[in-house]
């Protein structure tokens, strides 16, 4: 690593970037489709507003290794990220282009030596490159959230989003108790069939609510992880 004339360590710079293949209009369509998919079935279309999309570049270490007689390319982030999937990114060995003058590249905070003990095979080379990502904001009701999407492949890297919002069980139980109590009182004076009819409506309402939706989503995640 070179030193500056003042004697300070010069910051690491990327030798090239992977060019973005997806423009802003297309990435907004991809994000809209992801939000409308079964992954997020509890966000109504009329509650979602897609905001601005900003293109940034994440620095990555590109390691070339020979493992078991095969050439392997391994990517590891050169800056801090908590997004799932970025720590062990798998992608084709795409070519890079010179760094654009207006490229917004995040600063490097992790040296290649951090990953060397965990890599397999024989080292054939390493390179610091930048990979494009779109940061797309969207608004649900009065809350604003952010999605990170790969600018080359369109893969979504979601962080926290509304579906994961914790359920206020005390409030939900109280809201459900009030109509149940009224229904029970009316059933005594009207008919048991009326009680069953309203109970069916209440169950349907709960089924359509986010509370049951989150429970169902948790069950599906448990089955997928099993």
CA angle 85, 87, 90 (to 5 degrees): 65
Name the helix (H) or strand (E) containing 145: strand 143-150
Are 159 and 103 contacting, i.e. CB atoms less than 8 angstroms apart?
no
Query: Which range of residues forms the domain containing residue 193?
Result: 169-225
Nearest to 60 by CA among 83, 31, 26, 28: 83
Q: Which residue has the higher pLDDT, 143 or 19?
A: 19
Residue 65 lies in a domain: yes
Q: Of 82, 92, 90, 99, whose CA–CA distance to 19 is shortest?
A: 99
Residue 205 lies in a domain: yes
**Does residue 83 belong to any structural domain of this protein?**
yes
- State whether 214 and 139 are in the same domain: no
Together in a domain, 202 and 129: no
In angstroms, the CA 19 to CA 96 distance is 7
CA angle at 47 for the pair 44 and 49, rounded to the nearest 5°: 125
Query: Has residue 5 been placed in a domain?
Result: no
Quote the percentage of the chain above a pLDDT of 70: 64
Q: Domain count for the chain, please give it.
A: 2
Specify the pLDDT at position 40: 56
CA distance 16 to 134: 18
**Tokens found for residue 89:** 């990114």
Of 116, 137, 162, which residue is a domain's last? 162
Residue 145: per-residue pLDDT: 81
Name the band, by pLDDT with cuts 50, 70 and 90, for residue 26.
Answer: very high
Place 157 in a pLDDT band, splitting at 50, 70 and 90.
confident
How far apart are alpha carbons 125 and 6 in whole angstroms?
A: 30
Q: Within a domain: residue 178? A: yes
Whether 82 and 154 map to the same domain: the answer is yes
Assess whether 42 and 86 both reside in one domain. yes
Mean pLDDT of the chain: 76
Distance of alpha carbon 20 from alpha carbon 131, whole angstroms? 8
């Amino acid at each position: 690593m070179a030193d500056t004339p003042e004697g300070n360590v010069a910051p690491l710079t990327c030798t090239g970037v992977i060019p973005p293949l997806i423009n802003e209009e297309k990435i907004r369509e991809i994000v809209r489709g992801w939000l409308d998919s079964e992954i997020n079935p509890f966000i109504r279309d009329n509650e979602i507003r897609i905001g601005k999309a900003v293109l940034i570049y994440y620095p990555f270490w590109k390691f070339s290794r020979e493992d078991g007689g095969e050439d392997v390319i391994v990517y590891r982030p050169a800056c801090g990220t908590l997004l799932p999937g970025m720590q062990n990114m798998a992608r084709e060995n795409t070519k890079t282009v010179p760094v654009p003058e207006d490229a917004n590249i995040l600063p490097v905070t992790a040296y290649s030596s951090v990953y060397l003990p965990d890599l397999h095979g024989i080292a054939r080379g390493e390179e610091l490159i930048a990979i494009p990502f779109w940061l797309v904001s969207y608004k649900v009701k009065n809350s604003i959230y952010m999605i990170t999407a790969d600018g080359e492949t369109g893969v979504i890297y979601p962080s926290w989003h509304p579906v994961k919002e914790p359920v206020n069980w005390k409030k939900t139980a109280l809201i459900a108790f009030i109509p149940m109590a009224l229904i029970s009182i009316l059933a005594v004076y009207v008919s048991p069939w009326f009680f069953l009819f309203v109970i069916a409506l209440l169950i349907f309402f709960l089924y359509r609510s986010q509370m049951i939706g989150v429970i169902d989503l948790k069950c599906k995640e448990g089955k997928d992880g099993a």
